[in-house]
Amino acid sequence: MKKEDTVGLNTHSLNKHIQELALKQWWIARQIGVDRKTVSRWVTGRVKRMSRANAVALSELLSCPLSDITVSDECDVLATQEEQRIAAELIEKEDLLQILSATDHWPLAESLIKASMLAHLPKRQMGQLYNLLSIAAWRQGHYDEGRQRAERALDLSQQIGDPFIAHKAQVNIATIESLTGRVDKALEVYESCIKDPQSFAKQRDLGSAYSNLGCLYRSFKRFDESVVAQETALELFNQQGIDLNAAISCFSLGVVFTEMNRYDAALSAFKNGEIASLKARYERGKDCAALYSCDPLSMKGETDAARDILIDALPKLDNYPVYDLGLREIAARVFRRAGDMAKAREQLNIGLERSKDFPEIEAFMRFEEARYLLTMGKNKLARAAQESGTGAFLKATLNCRAEQKSITEYGLENVAIVALSKRKSS
């Protein structure tokens, strides 16, 4: 058959019309006078062209214009159902999120995943893609949407009995819980998941669970356990050569070491995080490494050096719509300890405004605000800020963080805040 006697087939539109009319392939084949296998090739996209006569007959049968089920020769590259299935499989297998996460292109990842999610995909693939959509959503700060996607993945996993999809969905939900205030629930889920490491589809997923668990242990002041969890995560990431996740885990480990007063260990962890970020081409990690390092440097007594580094690094946060809000707490603390109270107040204002929906982060910010106010000699306001922080910690189910005594310097037991006037006179 000559090409001019054929037309390009729009598989997507053809399937849409057939589904809307609830027609059977055998019935279509009988009406047009072709073999049933021929109709199967049309709807699956195994053939890209069909005879013009059959196309006309098919359009009349479907009561639609010929142009609805055909494409011009310039547009005959539409993916078939099989090609779409393969694309969906590759998104999971080749780890699209891992490829794009270094650049923070979460909207692009979300769009590509959604484009591959069609009704004909197997439930297993749909469950995997819903989990990926959940990650892309909460990475952008869309927590309600992220929860809905994870719950859909969990529902599909239960329908087909797939523990890998279920585990990943549970971890996604736990991550969202930890970010939005149910830290106790998140800890319970992570500890439960870790007990069954064989249910993680990939070592990277297991490593991420350990890293997130380490962050939760730090929230509950279980510092030694936090270090062990982060080091376990790092071992898994380094074995697999997953530099981006290793960078994130290094930063989390450095935060724990800082609060434990292990400043040199913290600085080393942050440096390792920077190196891993450079290897992974993780721009946000590279830009934030200096900000993290300012905290232990300042707490070691090198307040002016920390302040100078902070002033140079802080503007880079504006490049990222979503980042660790704890960096604002660090910035406020570093400026306060250097005596730059105007800049400390500015960072507190930014942090408090952005953390309104995140009880744990708000609580840490309120406690740092209390230290700032004590330094300014405003004891009553400081007490009010501390009480607000205590309420936020309780809301986040972190009773162990809800201080009732006079607030002390961050990371140091029983070290009182010195008022600015007294510090200057000394």
Distance CA 48, CA 7 (A): 9
- The single residue listed with the structure tokens 């979503």 is 322
- For residues 62-80, give the mean pLDDT: 71
What's residue 351's pLDDT? 94
- For residues 130-154, give the mean pLDDT: 89
115 has a pLDDT exceeding 90: no
Average pLDDT along the chain = 86
What's residue 346's pLDDT? 97
Q: Of 57, 3, 56, which is closest to residue 28 (Cα–Cα)?
A: 57
426 has a pLDDT exceeding 50: no
- Token readout for 341 is 């109270």
Q: Is 7 helix (H, G, I), strand (E, B) or coil?
A: strand
Complete DSSP assignment for 198-232: GG-SSHHHHHHHHHHHHHHHHHTT-HHHHHHHHHH
Q: Give 7 or 344, the one with higher predicted confidence.
A: 344
**What CA–CA distances, in Å, run from 357 to 213, 362, 363, 367, 395?**
21, 8, 11, 17, 11
Distance CA 261, CA 410 (A): 9
Q: Give 13 or 242, the one with higher predicted confidence.
A: 242
Would residue 281 count as lying in a domain?
Answer: no
Would residue 415 count as lying in a domain?
Answer: yes
Pair 129, 88: CB distance under 8 Å: yes
Confidence category of residue 425, pLDDT binned at 50, 70, 90: very low
Pair 139, 322: CB distance under 8 Å: yes
What's residue 314's pLDDT? 94
Q: Of 9, 85, 16, which is closest to residue 41 (Cα–Cα)?
A: 9
Distance CA 91, CA 211 (A): 24
**Range of weakest confidence among 53-62, 68-77, 369-378:** 68-77
What's residue 90's pLDDT? 60
For 28, the domain range is 3-78
Task: Give residue 330's identity as a one-letter amino acid code.
Answer: I
pLDDT one-digit tens code per residue, 235-276:
999 998 989 899 999 999 999 999 999 999 999 999 999 999
Last residue of a domain, one of 52, 78, 104: 78
pLDDT one-digit tens code per residue, 203-231:
888 998 999 999 999 999 999 999 999 99
Confidence category of residue 98, pLDDT binned at 50, 70, 90: low
Confidence category of residue 76, pLDDT binned at 50, 70, 90: very low
What's residue 80's pLDDT? 58
What's residue 142's pLDDT? 87
- For residues 47-57, give the mean pLDDT: 87
Complete DSSP assignment for 307-321: HHHHHHHGGGGGG-S
Complete DSSP assignment for 344-405: HHHHHHHHHHHTTT-HHHHHHHHHHHHHHHHHTT-HHHHHHHHHHHHHHHHHTT-GGG---S
In CATH, what number is assigned to the domain containing residue 67? Answer: 1.10.260.40
Last residue of a domain, one of 78, 107, 123: 78
83 has a pLDDT exceeding 70: no
Confidence category of residue 382, pLDDT binned at 50, 70, 90: very high
Would residue 387 count as lying in a domain?
Answer: yes
What's residue 85's pLDDT? 62
Would residue 176 count as lying in a domain?
Answer: no
- The single residue listed with the structure tokens 């084949």 is 29
Confidence category of residue 46, pLDDT binned at 50, 70, 90: confident
What's residue 78's pLDDT? 52
**What CA–CA distances, in Å, run from 247 to 105, 281, 295?**
18, 11, 18
Would residue 43 count as lying in a domain?
Answer: yes
Confidence category of residue 424, pLDDT binned at 50, 70, 90: very low
What's residue 394's pLDDT? 93
What's residue 383's pLDDT? 93
Would residue 252 count as lying in a domain?
Answer: no
289 has a pLDDT exceeding 80: yes
Beta-carbon contacts of residue 245 (< 8 Å; ≥ 6 apart): 204, 207, 208, 211, 233, 237
Q: Of 381, 401, 382, which is closest to residue 391 (Cα–Cα)?
A: 401
- Count up the domains in the chain and report the number: 2
pLDDT one-digit tens code per residue, 405-422:
778 889 866 677 766 644
Would residue 71 count as lying in a domain?
Answer: yes
What's residue 74's pLDDT? 47
Backbone angles phi, psi at 282, to 5 degrees: -95, 95
Would residue 162 count as lying in a domain?
Answer: no
pLDDT one-digit tens code per residue, 173-209:
988 888 887 888 889 888 988 888 888 878 888 998 9
Q: Give 36 or 90, the one with higher predicted confidence.
A: 36
Last residue of a domain, one of 78, 113, 131: 78
137 has a pLDDT exceeding 60: yes
- Percent of the chain surpassing pLDDT 70: 87
Q: What is the reported pTM? A: 0.74
